[in-house]
Each structure stands twice: as C-alpha cells, then as structure tokens.
Amino acid sequence: MSEGAHQSERWLSHYEKAWKFRHNNIQKFIENDGLNSYQAIEKLERLEQLNQVVGFPFGMMFQKINFPVPPEQLLPTGAPALKPVQILERSVPASFYQGPVDLIMDWLSMNPVKAIVELGAGFGQNLVKMIYRYGPLQAQIYAGEYTQSGQDLAKFLFEKIPGFSAKVFHFDHKAPDISVVQESQDILIFSCHSIEQVTKIPDDYFERLTQGKERVHGLFFEPFGFQISSPSMTPGDVSKQHEAQAKEREWNLNFAQVLLKAQERGTIKIHCMFKNLMPGDAFNPTSFVYWTKS
C-alpha cells in the first residue's frame, strides 16, 4: 500500500459481509422467483428502499425502516411521501418515488391481487416496464385504452413478451366500464395521467367503475393538484399556472370534485391524497390518491 493511503477495516469488513448477504438474496430471487439478473437487482433495491440491512452477531438481515414522519405523510407502501435530497448547496424535499411504477410495484409486493387494471394504458408502456423491471405479475392483467392505435401497439408489445398474457380492451373515462374484468374482487385499478385529457368525468364515475366489484383498490396518479387544497402548502404560482393551462387545453377540471363526492356517498374510501407529489410536464405535476371500495 502506498504511503499515506488508508481505509478503515470497519468498512472493509462491512462490505465483505454486505455483498455476501445480497448475494444470498439475489440468488433466491433468481432461483426461486424465476427472475433474471436485472430483475433481481431491481427487487433488491426495492426492498432496500423500505428496509435497512442490519448486522447482528449471527449475520445480516433486513429490518423495516420506521420513517420519522407523521402517519398522514405516509404513502400506502409505508414510505414517506417526501424525502430530503441534496443538490448544489441545498437540501430540498423530493418525491420518495421517482415515478408511479415504483410505488405501484412496492404496493403490489405487500398486497397481492387477482387482477391489475390500467385505465388509459396508452400503448402499454407502464405494464411493459413493470414486467421487464420486476418480473412476472402474479395476477390477470388488463389494459384499457380509448384509442385503437394504442390498443394495437399494446397488443404488439405484449405478444413479444414470452409467457405474458394481457387483455386489451376499449376504455372511455367519459363512460367508465370494466365489465370485461372477469375477477369480481381483489382488484387493483391504476391510472397515470390518462384522466388528464378528459375535460370532465361523469359525476357517477366511481360508481360505474366499481359496479359489481368488491375489494377494489385504486392508485391514481393524475394532475389534479390545482383542484385541491393542502394543509402543508398555500396555493402558489404552480397551481395558478397549472389551472390556467388545464383550462386552455380543456384538460380535466373536475376529478377531485367527483372523487370527494364519491366518498361522501360512501362509494369509496380515500385513504391518502397528496398534492403535486411527483414532477410532470411543465406546470402539470402529478398528484396521487389511494382509494378503496370494500
């Protein structure tokens, strides 16, 4: 070793044990869960977002992180909505999750369902990412999309995934109907910036969406922040410009109103809602709501 060079034996010993621990877990993911190397690493990273690797005399193990935030600031995965990040010379709040797919997959790892339904699925890009990044989805998959071209491309992409099966169907947020979903309970419905382009959804949107279904979970990532108030922030330029842009483009203006009325009628229960949780296009940030129907 060169004169003056030094590395603490503490960290040399730590990482020798840490890589062995991760090796054992990744090997299990590949051999028991049928994941490839990339998917196994993604699963490990997902575990380590919510759990820390702790060393004990008998070895290492995952230990759930108890985030020091009030319950109302926790997402349905147990993660905090925001985390501090350091950039330049400042510490600023940022979304815990970089995008909807990561949150959805964490939620699914804790809440097995029989069916996964994406509304306004476009050309199936979110579902393809979920499969290639995280491995097989242990549920029947449905992709609802309004456009025929989106449906056609989704089918084309799904057909290229070995062993994958999904049902692509026509879906219109203005007349929500998921009767094509054969499962009657334990259903996850999610949407990502698809209600965005619908100026107004019907007042009975959630009644029609969940008709005949039980134990329905909704994870909706939509740009409705300017439609709600938040106790942790006062309306500012972002909400003002967001609202002006939505009106100019004839984008959605009533999602929050319909959502809250559905809860008042007892159709659904809202468990958490976060304004402007994730960045989006310019002045079109993503807000999030988790709702259920019993």
3-state secondary structure of 248: helix
pLDDT at 92: 93
- Average pLDDT of 234-255? 91
pLDDT at 232: 67
Specify the fold of 98-293. Answer: Rossmann fold (3.40.50)
> Is beta strand 115-119 parallel, antiparallel or unpaired with respect to 140-145?
parallel
- Which pLDDT band, with edges at 50, 70 and 90, does 294 fall under? confident
Tokens 């995934």 belong to which residue? Answer: 161
Which of 8-22, 170-184, 199-213, 214-228 is least confident? 8-22
pLDDT at 54: 86
pLDDT at 1: 59
What is the Cα–Cα distance from 14 to 61, expressed in whole angstroms?
Answer: 13
pLDDT at 81: 97
The percent of residues above 70 in pLDDT, for the chain, comes to: 98
- Average pLDDT of 229-254? 87
- Which pLDDT band, with edges at 50, 70 and 90, does 265 fall under? very high
Query: What is the residue extent of each domain of the chain?
Result: 11-64, 98-293
Residue 231 structure tokens:
């106790």
pLDDT at 78: 96
- Asked if residue 168 lies in contact with residue 154, where contact means CB atoms within 8 angstroms, the answer is yes
- Which pLDDT band, with edges at 50, 70 and 90, does 173 fall under? very high
- Average pLDDT of 173-183? 97
pLDDT at 233: 66
Count of CA atoms in the C-beta half-sphere (13 A) of 70: 4
pLDDT at 219: 98
Per residue in 78-109, pLDDT (tens digit) is 999 999 999 999 999 999 998 999 999 999 99
- Asked if residue 73 lies in contact with residue 83, where contact means CB atoms within 8 angstroms, the answer is no
pLDDT at 14: 84
Instruction: Specify the higher pLDDT residue, 247 or 232.
Output: 247
- Average pLDDT of 275-292? 92
- Average pLDDT of 141-154? 98
How close are the terminal C-alpha atoms of the chain, in Å?
65
Instruction: Specify the higher pLDDT residue, 54 or 197.
Output: 197
Which of 84-88, 172-176, 188-192 is least confident? 84-88
Instruction: Specify the higher pLDDT residue, 101 or 235.
Output: 101
3-state secondary structure of 126: helix
Task: Output DSSP code: residue 271.
Answer: E
| Average pLDDT value over all residues in the chain | 94
